[in-house]
Amino acid sequence: MEQDQDQLHSYIENLYAEDPDLERVGESLKALGLKDISVAPGYGRLLTMMVRMTGARRVLEIGAFGGYSGICLARGVGPEGRVVSLEVRAEFAELARTNLQHAGLAERVEHRVGEALEQLKRMEQEGERFDLFFIDADKGNYPAYLEMALVLGRPGALIVGDNTFMRGKTLDPAYQGGGPRSMRLFNERIASHPMLESTILPAYDGLAIARIKD
């Protein structure tokens, strides 16, 4: 009776129609010889739904990579909404833009290239505020990104974080490097921060979903 994760994932993906705009992202990564570390398809669909369900109009993504989650977020915000996507590597921002253009969504997404923490601090000074955050970048900075999301988030804003398990490293005390240690701290804060209500989904590589209390 016990199915492994791959069987469950392929069962689910077979239920859904092909999604050429998202499949193009995978193909573009493959063509460049890059490992596809885009958000899982089930979480991509969830991102679109969370943006729509909350009516978020201003979304901040930390980590663009190939644009997969950017497409999912841009679908959710609708034609009037905006996604700001922070990406440290110019070539990834460029790739994400190309894939968003193919999907007809580029005008909803503004890519900003540079260190995310510096950009977040500048946004704080400039009074920029957001309704939903998707954190999917360097794992060592997750606690700092969470702190900045708490500053830049409006009451009721959602803070979503990918890879809370780090393929098991988060749970394994043998891993004492910066990434897993930071992810443990991030998860602890997600679960216990007095400003947040939250849950952590165990499918795929783990997804944290928190809401800033009103």
The distance of closest approach from Cβ of residue 186 to ligand DHB in the complex, given in angstroms and rounded to an integer, is: 13
Angle at the Cα of 205 from the Cα atoms of 199 and 210, rounded to 5 degrees: 20
Q: Which residue in 44, 170, 171 sits closest to 99, CA to CA?
A: 44
Nearer to Mg ion, 99 or 163 (CB): 163
Instruction: Give the residue at shortest CB distance from Mg ion.
Output: 162
Interface mask (CB under 6 A) for ligand DHB, residues 18-47, using x and -? -------------------x----------
CA distances (Å), 121 to each of 113, 118, 139, 160, in order?
14, 5, 18, 19
User: Which segment (4-12, 73-81, 147-155, 160-168) binds Mg ion by CB under 5 A?
Assistant: 160-168
136 binds ligand DHB (CB under 6 A): yes
Tell which one of 69, 141, 163, 164 touches ligand DHB (CB under 6 A).
163
DSSP 54-77: HT--EEEEE--TTSHHHHHHHHHH
CB atoms within 10 A of CB 11: 10
Binding site for ligand DHB (CB under 6 A): 37, 136, 162-163, 167, 205
